[in-house]
Amino acid sequence: MQSTGAGKAGGSQPYAEICSGVVIAHLDLDAFYAAVELHRRPELRGKPLVVGGDPHGRGVVATASYEARKHGIRSAMSSAEALRRCPDVVFVRPDHREYRDWSRRVWGLVGELAPVVEQIGIDEGYLVLPDGDPPEEAARIQQAIRTQVRLSSSLGVASCKVVAKIASDMRKPGGIMYVPSGEEAAFLAPLDVRKLPGVGPKSERRLRDAGIQTIGALASLDDNRLRELMPGKVGEELRDRARGIDPRIVSGEPSEAVSMSVEETFERDLHDRGELHDRLRPMAVELAEALRRKEMVARTVTTKLRYPDFSIVTRSQSAAVGFDDAERIGTLACALLDRALDDRPDALRLIGVGVSGFERHVQLTLLDG
């Protein structure tokens, strides 16, 4: 059983508003899990390496080294498929405690070098660069990570988050991509529309069906056409981002997780609902205990199902008042599972439960009087 959670912001100091001339970097640690494992097992250097589950069972690739990626191996692929593509690949089981330790070293160092840091995951985050030449300041931070923590990183440097995020992927591994202020739209325009954060599979299909293949084509949509394809604020926000407009700040203020979840991948596909319910109940207990430790309640329960073809379905239900008891979380999770299986009956390779919609107060009971 594996617990997961939303990323948190963390850093050196609050940053309440965008100031003129601020330059943002998106920092991404290259093949992070694999890079850590190569430090622990230097004899594997140069060999295709996968950090993930058992290739002879139900394992999934968490991270692939760049040598493995040359064979088409990628994250979230089944370990069995990775082995089929590269029979010489070496598999290592994940050690998340070790990865968290390395991550803390990296972000602790970055926090000493940049005025504001917002960590959004174990291996990526945004930062405001110090005053100076932006590429040089980014290179200074990159070099510090390389020499002091012995890890490779890629940085995208721009005036806003969305451009910095896309740019960091353009020079992987170990590179820096700088997009000067005023050149954001021109940089984004020729790129495939799927590279724009926020364009999911459904939005991508809708855009492609309408002949929108590039970010520039999305940026050029007029209001009427945009409303036809993606009505509401989401469409307007995506078009703004396609134009290089992104007002989100780099926030160094700590934030609470927005969700917590627990999931389990089975050794064999399961189809019996009673057995699936039995697997969900302990997850509900784990989440309830976590809520009580944090002195929070949740209003929404989400059940996640992964089918044998790796497709994922989720079902959620919210309540008007928050709760933290395992029985209620488990009952809702099981009902949501049944609802999803009624819509699509099939065996499952993974199930999970999540809670969200957190509140600080704890619901009163009769004993509280």
Distance separating alpha carbons of residues 356 and 335, to the nearest angstrom? 17
Determine the Cα angle at 256 with ends 32 and 14, to 5°.
Answer: 85
Phi, then psi, of 176 in degrees rounded to 5: -130, 130
Residue 211 CB: number of other CB atoms within 10 A? 7
- DSSP code per residue over 54-116: -TTTT-BEEEE-HHHHTTT--TTSBHHHHHHH-TTPEEE---HHHHHHHHHHHHHHHHHHSSE
Phi, then psi, of 357 in degrees rounded to 5: 65, 50
Nearest Cα residue to 134 out of 112, 159, 109, 152: 159
Q: Which pair of structure tokens corresponds to residue 223?
A: 């209001």
Stretch (H or E) spanning 206: helix 201-209
Distance separating alpha carbons of residues 353 and 256, to the nearest angstrom? 19
Residue 250 CB: number of other CB atoms within 10 A? 25
Sign of CA dihedral 249, 251, 257, 263: positive
Distance separating alpha carbons of residues 111 and 109, to the nearest angstrom? 5
Residue type for position 172: K
Catalytic residue among 37, 118, 124, 184: 124
Contact 244, 184 (CB under 8 A): yes
Partners of 313 in the β-ladder: 305
Nearest Cα residue to 26 out of 163, 209, 180, 214: 163
Q: Is 267 a catalytic residue?
A: no
Which are the catalytic amino acids? Answer: 124
